[in-house]
Amino acid sequence: MTRPKVLIVDDEEMMRTALEQWLSLSGFDPHVAASADLALQMVDDVRPDVILSDVRMPGLDGMAFLRAVRERRLPAEVILITGHGDVAMAVEAMRAGAFDFLQKPYVPDQLVETLRRAAEQVALRREVASLRRQLDGGDNELAGRLVGASPAMEALRRAVRELADIPADAIIYGETGTGKEVVARCLHDFSPRAKAAFVAVNCAAIPAELIESELFGHEAGAFTGASSRRVGKFEHANGGTLLLDEIESMPLLAQAKVLRVIQERMVERVGSNTAIPLDVRIIAASKVDLAQESAAGRFRADLYYRLNLATLHLVPVRDRADDCVLLFQHFLSQASERFKRTAPALHPADLDALRSHSWPGNVREVKAAAERFALGLDAPGRSLENVLHTGSAPAASSGSLADQVADFERRLIEKELARHQGSIAAVVDSLKVPRRTLSEKMTRLGVRR
């Protein structure tokens, strides 16, 4: 991993040397400048992620230097350090755009942690900017639609690119809100069928008595209330792609008829004897394992085998913590543009809140939280963590006491691990439990470091 670049600005040589050595040992790539004027000459060559500047310096002081950095729209975060600071100066520094304001004597570990958070903020902004460029017509539009830098998302994008050109039926598995329809749409839009129709059907939302009419269409007079001919979803998707979402909810009788249409690539409207040829790609989406459903007799095995030519598995947001930050910033930027509002800045505590939140609603919940945060409808001064809990669905009251206690412990341990960046020693200290007890609980609750 690239070492974050830090530009140290201080007129005291001893302080510059000490900071340079300490930050180098702490995993940074430090550069030094003896004055703010010299630092401004260096920034284009160094391109620092973070600037660490003293406030009291001859010539251009730290506050004026901060304003100069902001006027030049440099992407670096600025942290100011002074031995003469006060509350008014700290407020002025934060209003001027400082990432943080530290007073001497500072704790070295605290400084390193602040620098890491600032560098992380810069890296996230660059990632979001890259995604925005892709959305605006860059070379990789797919990355702007399937957002994430985790191995799981990179593998998903590769699979979508490979499958898009293959005219094979497929199944997409994923929890509610993970973006199954978005993936299906990408398979369509990046395929030769892109100019034809993409038709999405939620099988769970169609009453059993109407599902044949919805899928296959009907002729006028085919049944009571059928006053005119209606084209079904299969026929409407002809030449394109048909998504059968929540296919596990489809009645078994309807499954048998759908199987026949898929096998023969022919459809007959209800009340008609004329077969209509179909050229359509079928994509099924399910939140349950269809192999297990067929083994239990709740889903037709022959339909499962017919659809199971290719499968895609979507990983829930809770299992890709860094992606949830990218997703949130991506949706926050979109929402701010749509609502004509300035995107609120995210602080280090907000990043912890995003990573430690359980996201039961997955991507759909991330998007809703970002839109709520962009609107700023929650009470002023509320942290993002409070906003997330405000918008979350209430915890289910069902389940035994033991199950609810285990769920609470799991969430608490995951939150502390995220807050302390996976440090077991820090979590042991914060929760005041023996290390062995914590390890046993993590194993029992399925919590990963």
> Of 132, 167, 202, which one is at a domain's C-terminal end?
132
Across the chain, what does the average pLDDT equal? 86
Residue 335's domain is classified under what CATH number? 1.10.8.60
Statement to judge: residues 384 and 414 lie in one domain: no
Q: Identify the band that residue 382 occupies on the pLDDT scale cut at 50, 70 and 90.
A: low
Type of residue at 345? A
Same domain for 105 and 68? yes
Q: Which residues contact 377 (CB under 8 A, 6 or more apart)?
A: none
What confidence score (pLDDT) does residue 156 get? 95
113 and 84 belong to one structural domain: yes
377-406: average pLDDT: 59
Continuous segment of H or E residues that includes residue 21: helix 13-25
Task: For residues 177 and 276, state if they share a domain.
Answer: yes
Say if residues 108 and 102 touch (Cβ distance below 8 Å).
Answer: no
Residue 162 maps to a domain: yes
DSSP 91-128: HHHHHTT-SEEEESSPPHHHHHHHHHHHHHHHHHHHHH
How many domains, the chain?
Answer: 4
pLDDT per position as a tens digit, 12-21: 899 899 999 9
* Residue 349: inside a domain: yes
Q: Does one domain contain both 206 and 341?
A: no
User: What pLDDT shows up at residue 384?
Assistant: 76
pLDDT on residue 295: 95
| CATH number of the domain enclosing 205 | 3.40.50.300
Q: Identify the pLDDT of residue 139.
A: 47
The neighbour count for residue 42, using CB atoms within 10 Å, is 16
Asked whether residue 397 carries a pLDDT value surpassing 50, the answer given is no
| 396: in domain | no
Helix (H, G, I), strand (E, B) or coil at 358: coil
pLDDT in tens, 208-248: 888 999 999 999 888 888 888 899 999 999 999 999 999 99
Statement to judge: residues 155 and 284 lie in one domain: yes
* Confidence at residue 134, expressed as pLDDT on a 0 to 100 scale: 54
> Domain ends where: 313, 335, 363?
313
- Mean pLDDT along residues 113-127: 85
Radius of gyration of the chain (CA): 28
Of 275, 293, 313, the last residue of a domain is 313
Question: What pLDDT is attached to residue 233?
Answer: 96
Is the pLDDT score of 185 beyond 90? yes
Give the contacts of 433 (CB within 8 A, at least 6 positions apart).
441
Q: Please tell me the predicted confidence (pLDDT) of residue 394.
A: 42
Do 268 and 326 belong to one domain? Answer: no
H-helix or E-strand spanning residue 290: helix 290-295
pLDDT digits (tens, 9 = 90+) for 189-202: 999 999 999 999 99
How many alpha carbons lie under 13 Å from residue 304 in its C-beta half-sphere? 18
Say which range, 17-31, 62-76, 123-137, 341-355, has the weakest mean pLDDT: 123-137
Q: CA–CA separation, 49 vs 58, rounded Å?
A: 24
Structural domain containing residue 413 = 401-445
pLDDT-derived band at 85, boundaries 50, 70, 90? low
Is the pLDDT reported for residue 435 higher than 80? yes
Q: Which residue has the tokens 């510059």?
A: 16
- Tell me the average pLDDT across 412-431: 80
pLDDT of 153 > 80? The answer is yes
Cβ atoms within 10 Å, residue 45? 8
Same domain, 158 and 248: yes
Whether residues 146 and 178 fall in one domain:
yes
89 lies in the same domain as 206: no
Q: Are 352 and 371 part of one and the same domain? A: yes
Average pLDDT of the segment spanning 159-178: 94
Query: Does 404 have pLDDT greater than 80?
Result: no
Helix then strand count (H, E) for the chain reads 20, 14
pTM: 0.67
Residues 309, 334 within the same domain: no
Tell me, yes or no, whether 36 lies in a domain: yes
Q: What is the largest CA-CA distance in the chain?
A: 92
For 60: left if phi > 0, alpha if psi spans -120 to 50, otherwise beta; the answer is beta
* Residue 31: CATH number of its domain: 3.40.50.2300
